[in-house]
Amino acid sequence: MGDDPRADNPGALTLDELRANRDSAAAVNLQRDAGKDVTQAQGGLTLQRQLADGGEVAATVFGITRSLKNPQTFAYIDLDRVAYGGRFTLSRPAHLGALPQLLTVGLDFQRQRDDRVNFDYRTGSQPDTSRQLDQLEHVTEVGPFLQSALDLSTRTTVTAGLRYDRVSFGVHDRLITATNPDDSGRRLMAALSGSLGLTVNAADAVTVYANLGSSFETPTTTEQANRPDTAGGFNPALKPQQAVNYEVGVRGTPGGGRRLTWTAALFRADVRDELISYEVPSSPQRRFFRNAGSSRHLGVELGTELALRPGVSLGGSYTYSHFRYVRYRFSPDTVRTFVLDGRALPGVPPSWGHVMLRVSPSFARGGWAEVETTYSSSYPVDDTLSTRTSPWWATNLRLGWEGAVGSVRATPFLGVYNLFNRLYVGSVTINAARSRYYEPSPGRSVYLGLSVAAER
C-alpha cells in the first residue's frame, strides 16, 4: 500500500533559466500547480509444489489498484486503474536421447482497466468541468511460452525458449459531440519471440556465455492516448517496438574464492520501430511518441566486486554505449523533413560508471557505511539539434545499523545525497519543445530512513 498525496512537478528549464536560478520552476507549472496525488495498493500470492520426479508446478496471482490526480500544464488528468493477472508454470525433467533436460511450459495473463478523464483549465490551478478527453481503456495480454534447458555435458548447457504475446487494446470514447466524433476502437498487437543461449563453464572459476533472442514491446495506454492531433481513442499510427538482441560475455571468480568477482559482456540490439518521445510547442510539456524506422544499440558492460578485507568491499561497473539511428526520417510539418540516419539517439550517455565502497567494521557490531560515486558523460538531448548536456559526477553517503530489536529486524540509516554539493543536470526531457530540456538535480541534502522486518 502506498499513499503519496503531494509530489510537485517543477518542470524542465531552459539553459538561461538554469543558469539564472537552478532552483526555479517553470512558470506554467507554478500557475497550474503541476504535480500528482497517487494512491496505490497491490498484492500477490504464489503457490509452489515440488513434484516427485524433480519437477515443479507454480501459480501466481496478483492485483493492483491505482488512483492518480495529476494536474499537468496542458490538462488536469484523473486516472483510476485496476489491473490483475496471473502466471502458471509447470517444469518437468526430461531427456533428449541420453542428455538430461528440464522443460517448462507456462502461461501469463494480464488485464488492465483505465478510467481516464482529462479536464481543461480555468484561469488558475483548478480543473474546469469541460473535458478534453473522457474514455475507458482496456488491455488484455496473453502469453504462452515454452522453455528448455539441455545439459550437453557437466560444463555446458543450451537454453532455448519460445513465446507468443497477444496484446489487445480497446477504448470506449465517452466524449462524443457534433464536432467531436466517436473515437472508440480496438487495436491488436502480437508477436512470436524466441531465445537461444549457450553457457560453458570453461573452468571452475570462469563461465562463458552467448545469447540470441528477439523482444517485443507495445506502447502503453498513455503513450497511445497522447495523440498529436488531440483526438480521443488510441493513436493508430503508433506501432510496437521490436528488436533482435545479441550478447556474449564472461564472468569469473579467480582462484575459486570469493575475494574477487568480475563480469564482461558485449551486446548489440537491432531495433525496429523504436518508440521515441517528443513535444510540440502548442502543448507544453505533453509527451507524444512516434516510431523510428530502425536503430542499432552497441555496447560494452564491465563489472567487478572485490573484498579488500573482512567487512570491506569495493564494487564498480562501467557501460559504454554506441546507440545510433540506422534509418530514420520524419516530417514534423509540411515544410521540413529530417533525415537522421547515423545520428546518436538522445538521452543515452556513451560512458556511465558507478563505484561503491562498503564498510562493515567488526567493532561497530551491525554498523555499516556506504560511499558511492556515479559518473555520466555528455550526451545529446534532441534528435535534430546539436544540444548536449554537460558531463557530471556525484557522490552519495549512507551510514546505518542493522540488528534485531526483540523479534523485529531493524535497519535505521542516515543518507547524504550529493555529498560534495555538485551542480549538475541529472535528468533531461528528450526532444523538448521551447528548449526546456534540463532537470537539475538537488544540491547536498540529508535524509533519514528506517526499514523493519519480522524475523523468522
Q: Write down the pLDDT at residue 149.
A: 96
- Indicate the SS3 state at residue 74: coil
- Indicate the SS3 state at residue 434: helix
For 182-203, write each residue's pLDDT tens digit: 999 999 999 999 999 999 998 8
Q: How far apart are CA 257 and CA 299, in angstroms?
A: 29
Are 195 and 211 in contact, with CB atoms under 8 Å apart? Answer: yes
Q: All domains of the chain, ordered by start, with CATH?
A: 83-118+129-454 (2.40.170.20)
Average of per-residue pLDDT across 173-183: 91
pLDDT interval class at 127 (50, 70, 90):
low
Residue 16, Cβ neighbours under 10 Å: how many? 8
Which of 310, 386, 305, 319 lies closest to 350, judged by CA? 319
User: Cα separations (Å) of 181 from 14, 173, 185, 364, 383?
Assistant: 38, 9, 12, 69, 34
Q: Percent of the chain scored above 90 by pLDDT?
A: 80
DSSP letter, residue 33: T
pLDDT interval class at 122 (50, 70, 90):
low
Which of 1, 4, 26 lies closest to 285, judged by CA? 26
pTM: 0.91
pLDDT interval class at 406 (50, 70, 90):
confident
Most confident of 1-5, 86-90, 306-310: 86-90
For 213-238, write each residue's pLDDT tens digit: 999 999 999 999 999 888 889 999 99
Average of per-residue pLDDT across 1-13: 91
Model confidence at 54: pLDDT above 90: no
Average of per-residue pLDDT across 168-181: 93
Instruction: Collect all residues with Cβ–Cβ distance below 8 Å to 385 and sequence separation of at least 6.
Output: none
Q: Write down the pLDDT at residue 300.
A: 98
Q: How far apart are CA 353 and CA 320, in angstroms?
A: 9
Q: How far apart are CA 182 and CA 165, in angstroms?
A: 29
Q: Write down the pLDDT at residue 334.
A: 81
